[in-house]
Structure 1
Amino acid sequence: MRVDATHNCALDIMSNPQEIARLLAEPTNYTYNELSLIGSSCQHIHIPRLTEAEYVFYLHLITLLSAIVTAIAIYCIIFQSAPSMGKFKLCLLTLQSWTFVTDFMLASLATPRVFFPIIGGRPLGIFIKLGITVPVQLYVGFGCFGAMVASIILSFLYRHQVTVNQDNILKCNRWFQICVMIMNYVILSNALLPALFTSPDSQLATKIEILRNEACPAKDLLHPDSYVLQSSVDRLFPYFCGLVVFVGCQCAFMGLHCSWILFFSTLTTKLSKKTRKMQAKLLVALVAQLAIPTTLCYCPMAYFAITTLVDHYWQLGYWICTGTGILSSLFTIGVCWFIMNKHTLKQKTWKKLEYQMILLRVFFDVLTSITSGVYFLSSMFTLSYSEVIPFDVSFMIGLISSSLIEMRSYLAVVIAIERSCATIFSIHFFRYRKKVPNISIIGFIITMGIALCVVMFWYCELKLPLKEGCTNFNCAAPTCYQDYHAVSKTVYSSLNALFSGILCIKLVSLSWTHRNIQSDLRKANLLSLTDGLSTLTFELFPAMLFTKGIVDFNSIGPVFGVLRQIGRAVEATVMAKLM
């Protein structure tokens, strides 16, 4: 894409040192005006979102969270894992260590701000303040990431070699395994060298050429710390695709072969039932350990990188987001129906006080999943066939779904409070809990759901038909409704997290003193903690991040609803396993 002739003429003066100095003196925190080198046509793309200070703060916060999670993971691997894991502990420790080093490097030491779709960026971290050059930071950063990927291959290789029989042709000797891993570490740790060796000789000339040809480049592209790694993606794109295939083929082959041996093959008789079960659990744990960060981190990063390079307004993101929401809704409905059928019609678990509110939550999960799935589906039809299903219809379905979700969220708070009281004041709780009828709790949560509709149509005075240009509920909802919903969400999410934290501390203290907990009480507590963790991960944290405008809702789709539905699917799976 090239800019218009007027813009090109204006950019011809970029080679003037005084003009460059003037441009560098302007604010560089995503702010654009008529005096900037970016034309007014870019206002809809480059809007004020995050200042550099906020961006650096968030990345440093990621480092802190990564340090806490890494410390817990290392403690669990060393002291809480079974002795039968053997040397696999070393593989996990290596992977966890390189993961933290990569997080620390990217989030604190380098802290890059990437200039998509330009293959370049500007470091804002500790290294640039120490005077370390950008090429060195790139090499170290990608080297750490490559070592982390090689550690993943090491984990798969160990699992594969432990699983296959001694007489299998794929059973390798120790020295061959060492050579394979050395090759992976060397190749992947130095994967960026071809890009560094072929980087532009003159950074200033390359930046000026980009300004002449790119419609909406980053505002601080001419900053002395900014660095352009490649002027075009065409040269090294096949090389990096080959690296992805190289890593993917190794992990996929070893993972699929292990799965065949452990789950499907009837020819393997040398593995006892106990050993087979243990190896299967370890393989599933390894796959889950990779699937979670890949799904929640690397896939979104890859999507934003690819779609930005292709087109700023590629609608594939909307279809992926909405399709994921529909699949998550169907999965949640199936699992929750299984739980309801098993524990209400067959086992009569609902008669136990510990499970009554939890099973009511499952019932609300079914209702919210149905309405959410219908909303996602209607949104897709509205986007393609607005004359058949107007957006007003999708909006009303979304409002009904939001009301049910509000009821379910406050029910989760009630469960968290109930579980905390049951664990801390167990004798008094069961004495007085029976005096509180469930119908009063149901009335409270229904009232909180109806309040959303009252705020929408009475306080905010919403009128139909709605304004054009929105493709999801959050975009079309009035500002006063969003403010009320944000406060409400903060209240129930914070209360859920607070009482879940109290419950977690109490359970840890009971475990530390080796006190036994009744089986039903323990299961109910774990189910409540699962909901609290899901609310924190899939609702509270995304809400805090998205309110800063980092994600464009108009192009991505119903992000909040999809993330929430994924959380419900995870909860339902854990619940089915625990119960």
Structure 2
Amino acid sequence: MGKFKLCLLTLQSWTFVTDFMLASLATPRVFFPIIGGRPLGIFIKLGITVPVQLYVGFGCFGAMVASIILSFLYRHQVTVNQDNILKCNRWFQICVMIMNYVILSNALLPALFTSPDSQLATKIEILRNEACPAKDLLHPDSYVLQSSVDRLFPYFCGLVVFVGCQCAFMGLHCSWILFFSTLTTKLSKKTRKMQAKLLVALVAQLAIPTTLCYCPMAYFAITTLVDHYWQLGYWICTGTGILSSLFTIGVCWFIMNKHTLKQKTWRKLEYQIIFIRVALDFLISIISIPTFIIRAFLFLDLEVVPFDVFFMIGVVSISLVEMRSYLAVVIAIERVLATVFPIKFWKYRKGSANIAIVGFVLTTGCSVPIVMFYICELRLSSIIGCNNNICAYPPAYLTYRFLSTIIFSSFNAFFSGILCLKLFCLILKRTDVSTDLRRANLISLTDELSSLVFEILPSLISSALGVTNVGPALGVSRQLARAVEATVMAKLMG
């Protein structure tokens, strides 16, 4: 607890310095939507140049953000057990924090090094193009940091992702350990309760200023800088998709690490195909993160990645999703046979290898590029002005995709219905079922239920209501389904 007080003291100190810098020392007047402004504080009276003020001000803000990461890192390392793979030694933690402080404190250097050489020429150019420029734009103390946002906007977005991923991962992992995981058996109930309160206090301490201060500032800055209509639904969907992808990656890795490397649960026939599904969810979630990020840049008319590359990433993602969908059908069929004909099924199942199932699943994934590029004869070079995969798909491929969706959805619904009826009969008869069989059945039913709630129903609702322009809503919904399935599986497996 004493060391955590030092972390909080460091955070509060840098917060005070940052506030004092903004309110008194620099007191900037920002010329939105221009990336520039004029300082009105004490420093300009003392003759300190504007670039130095910018460097010091953003350096203080970066140190404050690094102190936030320090608080999360300390809470994370205190919470995890000694035998956990994420338990780091002291020197590694020091190196991580030095890296964060150095990177974030000097985050503005690329912008300063690429600032316009001639401030006067840049200001005159702004006066020519800007409809309503600031009155004191030509004042000697005014400073234009960048003439355009396009050059450094991806860089600062990368910094936001860099900070957000660290805090989100450590915060979610601490929450998982304190509230859900069985890895904390070494902690007493009182200790766990105290750790949970400290984590909640840390999150609350950061959430209040972020919600009341930094989020409105970021909202105002982005809407003016990107000069684009702000579609809140799009950004909510994109942010949710990225967070759910990160969460799914963490849970899937936890499942694979615990039940394949440590406990060797994969040797049981009931779980072998299910673990293949977990591996596919892990890969799909990894690919989903750059997909969501690239879509956001395309939405802002910033072509950071060529559309050809983005399209091929989408093809890989669709192939994995296709494999996962048909694998869910195989799991549903296996669960029905294992429940209805348990003795005969396991007699033949033990003598058969999984290679046939893996081969079938790989075939369904390989069929996507084959149908798209060879049968439908798609040529990426002929696509002009397209920033979404759907507008690039040939009509024949969309028909194939529609029929494929109907096939695996129908099979899933049919066999899941049979499994539900059989389980209901077993409950009425009060038949004893093995723990592994019951877990596998519940995992399969969770898969089908999440597909219904997060995939089929949103598609029907959006089609019926004509809901558009809310970003990758259906993709995010599917990713949420995978997150729910992974969480339920981790809970059931124990």
Answer yes or no: is the 8 Å Cα contact 1:335–1:573 preserved in 2.
Answer: yes
* Structure 2 residue 443 is the aligned partner of structure 1 residue 527: yes
Q: In the alignment, what sits opposite 1:556? A: 470
Q: In the alignment, what sits opposite 1:455? A: 371
Residues 418-451 of structure 1: per-residue CA shift (max 9 Å, x gap): 0010000000000111233211111101111111
* Structure 2 residue 287 is the aligned partner of structure 1 residue 371: yes
Q: In the alignment, what sits opposite 2:414? A: 498
Aligned amino acid, residue 479 of structure 2: Q
* Structure 2 residue 490 is the aligned partner of structure 1 residue 576: yes
Change (3 A) 1:468 1:563: farther
* Structure 2 residue 332 is the aligned partner of structure 1 residue 416: yes
Distance 1:361 1:401 in 2: 14
Distance 1:317 1:467 in 2: 27
Displacement of 1:469 in angstroms is 5.0
Matches within 5 A, 1:165-564: 314-384=230-300, 386-465=302-381, 467-547=383-463, 550-552=466-468, 555-564=469-478
Instruction: For residue 490 of structure 2, give the secondary structure of its aligned residue in structure 1.
Output: helix
Distance 2:363 2:433 in 1: 35
Q: In the alignment, what sits opposite 1:7? A: none
Distance 2:343 2:295 in 1: 50
Q: In the alignment, what sits opposite 1:251? A: none
Aligned amino acid, residue 571 of structure 1: E
User: RMSD between aligned alpha carbons?
Assistant: 2.9
Distance 1:558 1:393 in 2: 18
Change (3 A) 1:518 1:387: closer
Aligned amino acid, residue 274 of structure 2: I
Change (3 A) 1:331 1:410: same
Matches within 5 A, 1:50-89: none
Aligned amino acid, residue 275 of structure 2: L
Distance 2:410 2:367 in 1: 19
Matches within 5 A, 1:114-129: none
* Structure 2 residue 449 is the aligned partner of structure 1 residue 566: no
Aligned amino acid, residue 419 of structure 2: L
Instruction: For residue 556 of structure 1, give the secondary structure of its aligned residue in structure 2.
Output: coil
Distance 1:457 1:545 in 2: 31
Displacement of 1:376 in angstroms is 1.1
Taking only the aligned residue pairs, the percentage that are identical comes to 61
Instruction: For residue 507 of structure 1, give the secondary structure of its aligned residue in structure 2.
Output: helix
Aligned amino acid, residue 400 of structure 1: V
Unmatched segments (≥5 aa) in structure 1: 1-261, 264-272, 281-311
Distance 2:458 2:384 in 1: 26
Q: In the alignment, what sits opposite 2:131? A: none
Distance 1:343 1:446 in 2: 24
Displacement of 1:385 in angstroms is 5.6
Aligned amino acid, residue 514 of structure 1: R
Aligned amino acid, residue 363 of structure 2: T
Aligned amino acid, residue 401 of structure 1: S
Q: In the alignment, what sits opposite 2:44? A: none
Unmatched segments (≥5 aa) in structure 2: 1-177, 180-188, 197-227
Answer yes or no: is the 8 Å Cα contact 2:325–2:408 preserved in 1.
Answer: yes
Answer yes or no: is the 8 Å Cα contact 1:336–1:363 preserved in 2.
Answer: yes
Displacement of 1:466 in angstroms is 5.7
Structure-1-length-normalised TM-score: 0.45
Displacement of 1:349 in angstroms is 0.1
Answer yes or no: is the 8 Å Cα contact 2:297–2:303 preserved in 1.
Answer: no
Answer yes or no: is the 8 Å Cα contact 2:339–2:419 preserved in 1.
Answer: yes
Matches within 5 A, 1:102-113: none
Matches within 5 A, 1:143-154: none
Answer yes or no: is the 8 Å Cα contact 1:542–1:560 preserved in 2.
Answer: yes
Displacement of 1:395 in angstroms is 1.5
Answer yes or no: is the 8 Å Cα contact 2:294–2:304 preserved in 1.
Answer: no
Distance 1:408 1:339 in 2: 17
Distance 1:323 1:480 in 2: 32
Distance 1:475 1:410 in 2: 25
Instruction: For residue 516 of structure 1, give the secondary structure of its aligned residue in structure 2.
Output: coil
Residues 2-49 of structure 1: per-residue CA shift (max 9 Å, x gap): xxxxxxxxxxxxxxxxxxxxxxxxxxxxxxxxxxxxxxxxxxxxxxxx
**Greater relative contact order (CA < 8 Å, ≥ 6 in sequence):** 2
Question: Where do 4+ consecutive residues of structure 1 move more than 6 Å?
Answer: none
Q: How many equivalent residue pairs?
A: 276
Answer yes or no: is the 8 Å Cα contact 2:281–2:482 preserved in 1.
Answer: yes
Change (3 A) 1:471 1:556: farther
Answer yes or no: is the 8 Å Cα contact 2:284–2:321 preserved in 1.
Answer: yes
Instruction: For residue 343 of structure 1, give the secondary structure of its aligned residue in structure 2.
Output: helix
Answer yes or no: is the 8 Å Cα contact 1:365–1:568 preserved in 2.
Answer: yes
Residues 113-140 of structure 1: per-residue CA shift (max 9 Å, x gap): xxxxxxxxxxxxxxxxxxxxxxxxxxxx
Residues 158-197 of structure 1: per-residue CA shift (max 9 Å, x gap): xxxxxxxxxxxxxxxxxxxxxxxxxxxxxxxxxxxxxxxx
Aligned amino acid, residue 558 of structure 1: P
Displacement of 1:468 in angstroms is 4.5
Change (3 A) 1:405 1:495: same
Distance 2:368 2:292 in 1: 20
Distance 2:402 2:474 in 1: 12
Answer yes or no: is the 8 Å Cα contact 1:466–1:476 preserved in 2.
Answer: no
Structure-2-length-normalised TM-score: 0.52
Answer yes or no: is the 8 Å Cα contact 1:473–1:558 preserved in 2.
Answer: no
Aligned amino acid, residue 330 of structure 1: L
Distance 1:475 1:539 in 2: 21
Distance 2:463 2:373 in 1: 23
Answer yes or no: is the 8 Å Cα contact 1:379–1:391 preserved in 2.
Answer: no
Q: Which range is displaced more, 526-535 or 495-504?
A: 495-504
Change (3 A) 1:494 1:505: same
Displacement of 1:546 in angstroms is 3.9
Distance 1:340 1:419 in 2: 21
Answer yes or no: is the 8 Å Cα contact 1:472–1:557 preserved in 2.
Answer: no
Distance 2:281 2:401 in 1: 20
Answer yes or no: is the 8 Å Cα contact 2:237–2:470 preserved in 1.
Answer: yes
Matches within 5 A, 1:33-52: none
